[in-house]
Structure 1
Amino acid sequence: MRYLIVSDIHANWEALEAVLEDAEGRYDRAVCCGDLVGYGADPNRVVEWVRDHCSVTVRGNHDRACTGLEDLEWFNPVARAAAVWTLDNLSPENATFVRELPHGPSFMDGIQLLHGSPLDEDEYVVGPEEAFEAFAYLETHLAFFGHTHLQGGFVWNQARVETIPPVPIDSDR
């Protein structure tokens, strides 16, 4: 099984479209680690793609903020303005979909998907040290985290955590 793992799309349809073009024919299943919305101008288009194509999706902090589930006081002014704009522009159906996303971790095929850490969905897991701590609370040996805007994943391998690098983009496409 080949997975397309997307995260932190932030309503940026053009970026998602570029990823999809590059990944075309190279994955069997798509999943999402959260932050579908926030910042970008195409929240409905992105949410509709995720809803139609991702078999597993977890929510992110911007998903909560852009659907009224979170107080915006912790967001910077740009993120706050984007959340308010998104809340006003998401269709009712898409707002409901995003609002009802599970907070994670979500399980699939022996893999866990999370936005942040298993203890705090807003906590960043940026390297093997944080991933090592996170695996103490996970039920699988393989996990993918969103939130950081860093590509890759982590695997628990004989009492240590190894980084899974992202697949390089084919610059000839």
Structure 2
Amino acid sequence: MRALILSDIHGNLEALNAVLEAAGSYDVLWNLGDVVGYGASPNETVERIRSLAQMNVRGNHDRVCCGLASAVGFNPVARAAAMWTQKEMSEVNRAWLAAVPQGPLHPEGFPGIVLAHGSPLNEDQYILTMRDAWGPLQQSGTLITFIGHTHLQGGFCQHSEEWHELHPRYETPNEVESWVLDLTQGTRYLINPGSVGQPRDHDWRAAFAIYDSEAESITFHRVPYDLTAAQGRILMAELPEKLALRLREGR
């Protein structure tokens, strides 16, 4: 079974379309949250994910943009985007987003797998360092937990007394690339597929991952997309210019 894992699309339709085209064949699609916020195509991205994903986990921007939570804790740029998105989304899409469950979720047919947005312990927690990963890995009863939220592709793993950070290695900027992680028995993993719509690891390309349960591997991917069109949508919507500029910078 092959699972396509997406996270942090953030209303970037051009990036989402490029990822879906590059992903090839898969059996299920898992969405780890933050379908909207920042980008200027909230309705289109929600509708594509609604039609394709078998499992969805809500993200913090999803929660705010559909009206379940306040934007008070967001910085001014994120708040402006969330308020615009809330008004721009159709009633049907807002209702769908409001019904998306909080993680962690256990996908049927994939024993030992958990899906979350920030952390399986707290949906809003950022797992950025080994210190952050220690608690979730120690307390996890599953082999692999897929998370998003940080917009950083990679992850962490623990085997007995050994702890490691995982960083995909790419060599050809601006082109399609992939990096395979072969899974080791007896090891627990926290895996972030990276952000589809707003990467923050200084690589502007859209990020995603594919989990292959039979091959016992996770393949990380990066794909270029129509960046100019995504930026143009943001500027035409009169969203903060910073949201367009940061897409090129990958941060």
TM-score norm. by structure 1 comes to 0.87
Partner of 1:151: 153
Q: Cα deviation per residue 1:3-35 (whole Å; 9 max; x = unaligned)? A: 21100000101111111121123x222101100
Give SS of 1:136's match: helix
CA 1:64 to 1:138, structure 2 compared with 1: closer, same or farther past 3 Å?
A: same
Partner of 2:208: none
Tell me the matched-pair count. 170
Partner of 1:79: 78
Letter paired with 2:13: W
Query: Aligned runs of 1:9-158 on 2, under 5 Å?
Result: 9-25=9-25, 27-108=26-107, 109=110, 110-158=112-160
Cα distance in 1 for residues equivalent to 2:15 and 2:60: 20
The structure that has the greater radius of gyration is 2
Give SS of 1:39's match: coil
Cα distance in 1 for residues equivalent to 2:117 and 2:39: 19
Cα distance in 2 for residues equivalent to 1:45 and 1:88: 14
Structure 2: gaps (5+ residues): 169-218, 225-251
**C-alpha deviation, 1:62, in angstroms:** 0.2
59-68 or 115-124: bigger deviation: 115-124
Structure 1: gaps (5+ residues): none
CA 1:162 to 1:53, structure 2 compared with 1: closer, same or farther past 3 Å?
A: farther
Letter paired with 1:88: K
Contact 2:104 2:114 in 1 (8 A): yes
TM-score norm. by structure 2 comes to 0.62
Give SS of 1:35's match: coil
Letter paired with 1:124: Y
CA 1:70 to 1:61, structure 2 compared with 1: closer, same or farther past 3 Å?
A: same
Give SS of 1:73's match: coil
Q: Cα deviation per residue 1:59-82 (whole Å; 9 max; x = unaligned)? A: 111001101111111111111111
Contact 2:33 2:117 in 1 (8 A): yes
CA 1:159 to 1:59, structure 2 compared with 1: closer, same or farther past 3 Å?
A: farther
CA 1:128 to 1:144, structure 2 compared with 1: closer, same or farther past 3 Å?
A: farther
Between the aligned residues of both structures, percent identity stands at 48
Letter paired with 1:14: E
Cα distance in 1 for residues equivalent to 2:145 and 2:155: 6
Q: Cα deviation per residue 1:50-104 (whole Å; 9 max; x = unaligned)? A: 1111111101110011011111111111111111111111111111111111110
The runs of at least 4 aligned residues of structure 1 exceeding 6 Å deviation read none
121-130 or 44-53: bigger deviation: 121-130
Cα distance in 2 for residues equivalent to 1:134 and 1:111: 13
CA 1:90 to 1:137, structure 2 compared with 1: closer, same or farther past 3 Å?
A: farther
Contact 2:43 2:90 in 1 (8 A): yes
Cα distance in 1 for residues equivalent to 2:31 and 2:100: 11
Cα distance in 1 for residues equivalent to 2:157 and 2:45: 29
Give SS of 2:115's match: strand
Letter paired with 2:17: E
Give SS of 1:123's match: coil
Cα distance in 2 for residues equivalent to 1:77 and 1:89: 18
